[in-house]
Amino acid sequence: FTPPFTAKDSKQTLPLFQQSLTGILTYNWMQAEFDFGYPLELSSSIYRTRDILVLLEELEFNNPNMLEDQMAANARLFAGHKSTLLCCENSLTFCNPINKVQSICNNRCSSDNKYSADTLAELFQKGVKIDVESYSNFIPNACHQEVQLYFKQAADANQRKKEGQPLVSIYMVTYNAQEFIAQAIESVLAQTYTNFELLIVNDGSNDETGEIIASYSDERIRYIYKEHKNFASGMNRAINEAKGEYIIGVDSDDFVDPNYIEKLVACAEKHPEVDYFYPATFVLVDESGNCTGVEWNYLDFSDNQILPAFLFDHGYGPIPNPGSLKRRSLFTKKCELYKELETVEDFTFLCRNALRINFKRVQDHSTYFYRRMASGNSQKFKTRNQLMARALNDMVLIYPAQVLYPQIRYISPDLREKEYYKYLMTTFYKHSQGNMVRYGEYFRQYGDYYKAKLLSVEEGNKVGSAGALSDQKYYMELFEQGAEHLKAGRPADALVCFDGAYRLDDKVSDLQYARAVALAQLGRMDDARLACEAELAIQPNHKGAQMVLNKISESVNVIN
């Protein structure tokens, strides 16, 4: 919260705070003064769109100050039904009123010439930047407080744009790759594109892989050792450690042409609207590194709207993960990291995020040599088949029918449910007999489930077959998956599972409570409240639902 001084350095009384969630307080702004009685502001608050858009549509303004003045003048519109604010226990942001950014309002600003707009612009032009880290743990005495500016040379910014080249983070996750990793490393170090870092994540190798990595003294290499888990965990570690504007993976048993990175970055710099750049072709080599004469050609998914239906219908990933250049912002702003699965983490990533990512297939690229071996991760058929079947079924929960089955729009509305279940059933049965499938039962069980759904629609009651998954069994599978996601701090994934279970049975105890917890963690307080009320309608004395409901009642916005 904002400490007890106003923007004019006047003493103000703290309101009566009540604890809400951990680290979050609530108070009644109608009974507060000065800054605490100022519920509508621009710089650091979060609003529900349905609350604020109605007001904004009625206001006319041409700069932020006029907008905030008009918002403040209309604050009483919310007095009757939105009188409670949420805020953090300690301020996370404050405004340092250095100089004016408009000429209409005579706002408070510094009179120190060393902070004038011209002086600051000259410093920034020389590569100096404000040292934001210097204000870590600083608690201001008001929402506006004039404090000294601390500067530092933006060395990392210069590195990121070395001679016009953005920094690229190349990662290589390895496990027992002593036969091939030297060739992979040397192909990266030989790149004509010079502004890169190479993060090598050793996923607990027990052969000579670590010694081979240690033999390279190139300053561009960052070596990370971790206990063995799986490829996806190593990839996530690399992404978290990466400093570059772009991220690209080269597998430790593959290698690339010298100008591979250069060509991909050149394309990326021309297309700032794209998140994910992938090569049009892979060249396959054998264990000795010799070309096999086989190439993998990838389709164009610049229209990502068609990707979910393709993934579901074909059951494989048509966009490569290794050799693809991604903006780091993809993982910080759009998508969660890869699920740390034993295999098919790239396929699962595409299945969950297909519509969030803007893709581009790069035609003008150098060669990525993909080593095809009989003993690779792709040969773990049982785990692979199980995880792929689950990923495909998760798509049914994530995407509406018209996304997975576009033809449904041409079907009569009264037949759509039946035809959709028929499509789901036949698609899973088709995948159970795929070329890369040895354990078709994982796909068949979902086919059986949708067959039962189809029969239920056709006959007007729930008729199953001997091999069908019961609704209760499938419900429990979804609920348990959701609980695991919630425990691991993934409320969005948890909600997908809980909503899927809700479609099967909306009267089971604890489900609405679980949904409420996930919704609250996602900041969807109104939906969380409704879920709590639904749980209490089933179990009037449900302590968990009562507790969550008490914590989220009557909130309008969050003040940082």
> 347-382 pLDDT, tens per residue?
999 999 999 999 999 999 999 999 998 654 445 788
The span from the CA of 557 to the CA of 553, in Å, is 12
Mean pLDDT of 415-422: 94
* 8 Å CB contact between 516 and 531: yes
* 8 Å CB contact between 330 and 376: no
* 8 Å CB contact between 451 and 465: yes
SS3 352: helix
Least confident of 196-200, 368-372, 499-503: 499-503
Q: How far apart are the first and last CA of the chain?
A: 7
Mean pLDDT of 306-313: 98
Amino acid at 560: N
Q: Which residue has the higher pLDDT, 131 or 196?
A: 196
The span from the CA of 247 to the CA of 530, in Å, is 41
- What is the pLDDT confidence band of residue 479, given thresholds at 50, 70 and 90? confident
* 8 Å CB contact between 360 and 404: no
Would you say residue 495 has pLDDT above 60? yes
The span from the CA of 477 to the CA of 158, in Å, is 51
Total Cβ atoms within 10 A of residue 257: 18
The span from the CA of 193 to the CA of 306, in Å, is 34
Domain 471-559 has CATH 1.25.40.10: yes
Class of domain 170-376: alpha beta
Mean pLDDT of 425-433: 96
pLDDT at 28: 92
Would you say residue 417 has pLDDT above 80? yes
The span from the CA of 235 to the CA of 241, in Å, is 10
- What is the pLDDT confidence band of residue 503, given thresholds at 50, 70 and 90? confident
Query: Can you give the residue ranges of every domain in the chain?
Result: 18-152, 170-376, 382-459, 471-559
Encode pLDDT of 46-94 as tens digits.
Answer: 888 888 888 888 888 877 878 888 888 888 888 878 889 998 888 778 8
The span from the CA of 455 to the CA of 441, in Å, is 20
Q: Among 312, 329, 225, which residue's Cα sits nearest to residue 272?
A: 329
Total Cβ atoms within 10 A of residue 225: 12
Cα angle vertex 40, ends 34, 45, to 5°? Answer: 105
Would you say residue 3 has pLDDT above 60? no
User: Any residues with CB less than 8 A from the CB of 409 and at least 6 apart, and which?
Assistant: 402
pTM of the model: 0.58
Mean pLDDT of 523-529: 81
Q: What is the DSSP letter of 14?
A: P
Mean pLDDT of 249-264: 98
SS3 172: strand
pLDDT at 554: 56
Instruction: Give me the chain's average pLDDT, please.
Output: 86
User: Any residues with CB less than 8 A from the CB of 303 and at least 6 apart, and which?
Assistant: none
* 8 Å CB contact between 193 and 264: no
Inter-CA distances, 539 with 483, 513, 542, 546, Å: 20, 10, 5, 10
The span from the CA of 557 to the CA of 560, in Å, is 10
Inter-CA distances, 491 with 25, 186, 481, 516, 532, Å: 22, 41, 11, 10, 16
Encode pLDDT of 375-402 as tens digits.
Answer: 544 457 889 999 999 999 999 989 999 9
State what percent of residues in the chain have pLDDT above 90. 49
The span from the CA of 216 to the CA of 236, in Å, is 23
Q: Is 462 left (phi over 0), alpha (psi -120 to 50) or beta?
A: beta
pLDDT at 558: 26
The span from the CA of 543 to the CA of 549, in Å, is 10
Q: Do the domains 471-559 and 170-376 match in fold?
A: no
* 8 Å CB contact between 69 and 42: no
